[in-house]
Structure 1
Amino acid sequence: MSRYATSHLMWEVTRDGELAERFRTDPDAVLDGRELTEQERTALAEADVRALFEFGIHPFVLYHFALRLAGSFSMPFVQQYIGRLQGLTIGDLET
């Protein structure tokens, strides 16, 4: 797995509104040509924050990626985000 390639793509989506919109509408087109495993591609395309966390993506990058895809901060976003990560412990994060 390429944690760097996954994190880098997520950071790009977070920083670039146009790329984020393309990712929302056609994630496969944005993911094409990137050095990612099939597991990473699937987790990214589905914005599966739990899987991405388990891959070792830094929580800061993960949160901002999910927030960008959600469009804006809201309590329903926070509840959904926390719900997806429920049951994980900090020991699940590699540093």
Structure 2
Amino acid sequence: MSLYEIHKLLWDVRRVRAVTERYRAEPDAVLDDYDIAGQFRGWMKDLDFKALYEHGVNPYLLYFCAIQLEVDRADYYARIRGVKTP
């Protein structure tokens, strides 16, 4: 897997409503479709934005993916800093 696959997924979550809705309902199936594996798969499932960012994922794509997945803005900023939220 390369960063291309993760960036493509994040782009599609941002732009394609069907992908966003399907990711919310069945993330494993979508991650399989995009060939997301290894640590990146776990980070995407956990929405570990900090780990994704630290491993080269585009912050713009991360932020807009979070918006589409309805992650609260304050929660997103806490996650990107590595702060655990309840």
Amino acid of the residue matched to residue 9 of structure 1? L
* Aligned-residue identity in percent: 38
Partners of 1:80 and 1:36 lie apart in 2 by: 24
* 5+ long unaligned stretches in structure 1: 72-76, 88-95
| 1:54 aligned onto 2:54 | yes
Q: Aligned letter for 2:56?
A: G
Runs of 4+ aligned residues of structure 1 deviating over 4 Å after TM superposition are none
Shift of 1:65: 0.5
Q: Matches of 2:18 and 2:36 in 1, distance apart?
A: 21
Gaps of 5+ in 2: none
Amino acid at match of 2:24: R
Deviations 1:32-90 (A, max 9, x none): 1433331111111222211111121111101000110017xxxxx12111111227xxx
**Residues 3 and 55, structure 1, Cα contact 8 Å, conserved in 2:** no
The code of the aligned residue for 2:74 comes to Q
RMSD of the alignment, in Å? Answer: 1.7
The count of aligned residue pairs is 82
Amino acid at match of 1:8: K
The normalised TM-score by structure 2 is 0.83
Match of 2:75 in 1: 80
TM-score (normalizing by structure 1): 0.76
